[in-house]
Structure 1
Amino acid sequence: MLIYVGAYTSTGGGIRCYEQDPSTGALTEVHPPAAAIDPSFLAWDATKANLYAVSESTGGVEAYARSDHGLLTSLGQQWTGGADPCHLVVDPTGQFLVTANYSGGSVSVHPIAPDGSLNSRRDLLEHGGSGPDPERQEGPHAHMIAYRPSGNSFYVTDLGTDQIHEYALSADGAILPVRAIAAETGSGPRHIAFHPTSGAVYVSGELDSSVLIYQPQGDGLVQVGRIPATAEPPTERNYPSHIECSTDGRFVYVGNRGSDCVTVFSVTPDGLTPVADVPAGGRWPRHFAFAGDFLYIANQYAGTVTAGRLDPATGVPAEPVVVAQVAEAACVLPG
């Protein structure tokens, strides 16, 4: 398996490509880095023939074609119309790239051409509002795009306004508002994860170090729980980052910056029960991903990618060890 790493580029460069040793989890770099500026989040199309990256500091999104051997070739860049794009996803039809722009809190849509390149922006929708934190919630801050398992609509978490917006796309890529869902005041919703069977939705609260738990109600969501994002109380301010549910639905994982751990929760009929805080093996775990038997973590401030083998019974990874040096590592994308 190939694993791609996106990183901020003030001290490095490009999107890195590694080959995984499936028995040990070790990574070996196999291609020169693909040229990019601050590709802090990466996403595939459904076929994994094309990769898309934000260019956070330039306000752009870039498309890449992937060869049979995993080499990336740029197909060009388009501007999002917003500032600091931080997350993106290809819609289930493969026709559109949807991007969250953090600063200003907006969502943009680009049609995807048959060769995987991006056409000019089709739509831009800007959020409004603010939250109680004067430093982080002075205005809207869209943070993640997450398509619902049905594929008919998508959620956008807004850290700045404590809301989760639901949208759909028209046949030609226009953004259609569906509803806004309230998050806990001051929570700063960042990333979102779906349980594979129960319909539960889990949201990392970056500003109050929480996990918010939602259940479907009618066509929307209702919050049914809120728990700390770590098993043990943090010794310094903690900022949860990525959240993900295991494919079998038994566990939920949360990256924690400050505590510098990945916390494992078991899924119960009543919600989530903390299992363990596993040290990330580096400072500021911004993102993580599963690949084979291993959990890979991008530790931004340490400039490392670490990996720990998952225990299939408990869901807990072994304490991660460094498998790659990547300055300002921000995103891990298995290929």
Structure 2
Amino acid sequence: MIYIGCYTAASGGNGVGVTAVRREASGEFTKVGELALPSPSWLCRHPSADVLYAALESDEGAVASIDLGGFAVLDIVPTGGSSPCHLAVTHDERFLLCANYGSGSLAVFGLAADGRITGRTDLVVHEGSGPHPDRQEAAHVHMAVPLDTPQGTLVSAVDLGTDEIRSYRLSVVGTLEPAGASAMPPGTGPRQLVRRPGTDLAYVAGELAGTVVTVRESPLGVFTPLEVTRATRTPYEDGPNYVAHLEVVGDRLYVSNRGPDCVTEFDLTGEQLTAVADHPCGAFPRHFSLVAGTCHVAAQLDDAIVSFPMGGGPATRYATGSPTCVIPG
């Protein structure tokens, strides 16, 4: 099963809501269910419960919980901020983290053992700005990344508006305690953070600068920029490159680029990031998932999920309105 989120008319898109599809042996998708929800732009699967969470990206801001067994909405709860754009479940499965992009805040929700949301436990609001006049006029939290440590859960919030990564200690009751702020190069517009397992390195998507920033995390929750790399192998000069999603798989880093409209593959085996390929993937690739050697891309402006084998071969397309997120079930 694969689940697709999208922008609906509530955000100027033409999607319907959350779509469930089955990938056939041929590689084609067959739709098996659809739930009408306002702009479920990010989806997050509970690690063990049969529950899917959807960030409803609107001015009011809400999270929908979906029962995957019956494919029905369980609850819709307000996030405490506007335009939520990212969700993550902590490793102990006790909390759900929500990045509210519009209001520049980070919300925490308690989770029951069955995955149901029990209530909001904390909300922190960032303040600040950056040099980009339109996109960095205020704080814009774009992602929250949990890390299990011997001292408990550490949460690192990526703030596109302030060019920072702010880290917090998450208490056993779901409250956030500041644990440090790390500055990225001015104008980076950090959107996402992904750690490289087994190392102290991590990578930051620079949405506004069209870059990937390699950072060293030492101590935990503190990130020092080491290198700034163009996010595509081939230079792109036809306009801005709005870097979107990052994934680390083994010794490879994959980055989606909106504008160049490709997923760029980087080799991580050397001392520096080395781009080895730009994989065409449809217009405005907002998000992608790598599953069993196949890359499934949410090509937002093509109204399609574009799937292609990473080792080479023909791509397949599944028509769906304004897709923004595609995850395996």
TM-score (norm 2): 0.93
- Matched-pair contact (CA < 8 Å) for 2:212–2:228: yes
2:304 and 2:321 in contact (8 A); partners too = yes
Give, in whole Å, the separation in 1 of the partners of 2:320 and 2:313. 21
Go from structure 1 to structure 2 and tell me whether the alpha carbon gap of 1:48 and 1:253 turns closer, same or farther (over 3 Å shift).
farther
* Partner residue in 2 for 1:292: 292
Which shifted more, 221-230 or 117-126? 117-126
Matched, 1:327 2:326: no
Structure 1 residue 17: Cα displacement:
0.7
Query: Could you say which residue in structure 2 is the equivalent of 1:3?
Result: 2
Q: How does 1:151-166 map to 2 (within 5 A)?
A: 152-166=153-167
The match for 1:314 is none
**Kept after mapping to 2: 8 A contact 1:144/1:156:** yes
Alignment of 1:167-206 (within 5 A): 167-206=168-207
What are the equivalent positions in structure 2 for 1:1-335 lying under 5 Å apart? 2-10=1-9, 11-21=14-24, 23-31=25-33, 33-57=34-58, 58-67=60-69, 71-148=70-147, 150=149, 152-219=153-220, 220-235=222-237, 236-246=239-249, 248=250, 250-280=251-281, 282-311=282-311, 318=313, 320-322=315-317, 324-335=318-329
Checking the alignment, whether the CA contact within 8 Å between 1:25 and 1:309 is kept in structure 2 is no
Distance 2:217 2:73 in 1: 40
1:149 offset after TM fit, Å? 5.9
Contact 1:64–1:117 (Cα < 8 Å) also in 2: no
Instruction: Give the length in aligned residue pairs.
Output: 320
Question: Aligned AA for 1:238?
Answer: N
One-letter amino acid of the counterpart of residue 21, structure 2: Y
Per-residue deviation, residues 252-300 of structure 1 (Å, max 9, x unmatched): 00000011111111003312101011111x2100000011221000011
Matched letter for residue 290 of structure 2: F
The 1-side partners of 2:272 and 2:119 are apart by 43
SS of 1:301 mapped into structure 2:
helix
Structure 1, unaligned runs of 5 or more: 312-316
Instruction: Pick closer, same or farther for the CA change 1:229–1:113 going to 2, 3 Å.
Output: same
Q: Give the Å deviation of 1:319.
A: 5.8
Q: Distance in 1 between matches of 2:148 and 2:28?
A: 32
CA distance in 1, matches of 2:272, 2:206: 16
* Alpha-carbon distance between aligned partners in 1 of 2:315 and 2:204, rounded to the nearest angstrom: 24
After superposition, the C-alpha distances for 1:18-49 in whole angstroms (9 at most, x for unaligned) are: 1113x543211122x02321100000111151
The residue matched to 1:171 in structure 2 has which SS? coil
Unpaired runs of at least 5, structure 2: none
1:217 offset after TM fit, Å?
A: 2.2
**Structure 1, residues 109-157: CA drift from partner, whole Å, max 9, x if none?**
1112344222232211000000000100000000011123647212111
Q: Is the 8 A contact 1:279 1:320 kept in 2?
A: no
CA RMSD of aligned residues (A): 1.5
Structure 1: which amino acid aligns with 2:316?
A: V
Residue 53 of structure 1 and its aligned partner are, at CA, apart by: 0.7
Deviation for aligned residue 1:94: 1.2
The TM-score with structure 1 as length reference comes to 0.92
Task: Classify 1:289/1:193 alpha carbon distance in 2 versus 1 (closer, same or farther; 3 Å).
Answer: same
Relative to structure 1, is the Cα distance of residues 113 and 149 closer, same or farther in structure 2, using a 3 angstrom cutoff? closer
2:258 partner letter: R
Q: Identity of paired residues, percent?
A: 36
- SS of the aligned residue for 2:253 comes to strand
Task: Give the SS at the match of 2:77.
Answer: strand
